[in-house]
Structure 1
């Protein structure tokens, strides 16, 4: 078995529809510039509110990817 090292970064995804869509947006966007994504962990959920109405869902996501030398 080969040994590997993984790097973890934190992202914030947003969506006007749901927290799930916000998380998917963060991962899909990260996959455009990062290779070999492994795990995405949701660490925080919140909402942007305006005049008592939810305007956007926000998700803080920790994403890991294989670290290359």
Structure 2
């Protein structure tokens, strides 16, 4: 079995729909430029109110395996 090395990044996903969609947006966007995504952790949930409507922000820590 080979040893693996991982890197961790923090990204913030946003959504006007809900928190789950904000997480999906963060992961989807990260996957466009980073490969070997392995896991994620929600670090923080916050939001803003625009014209009486919520806008969700989710800080997501994503781990990915570095190429050998």
TM-score relative to the length of structure 1: 0.90
* Long gaps (5+) in structure 2: none
Q: Which residue of structure 2 aligns with residue 33 of structure 1?
A: 33
Q: How many residues align?
A: 68
Q: What are the Cα deviations for residues 6-61 of structure 1, in whole angstroms up to 9, with x where unaligned?
A: 0000000000000000000000010011011000110000111245x343100000
Query: Where in structure 1 do 4 or more consecutive aligned residues deviate above 6 Å?
Result: none
* Long gaps (5+) in structure 1: none
Give distance in 1, aligned partners of 2:39 and 2:59: 14
If each structure's helix is expressed as a fraction of its own residues, which one has the higher value? Answer: 2
Equivalent residue of 2:32, what SS? coil
The Cα RMSD (Å) is 1.3
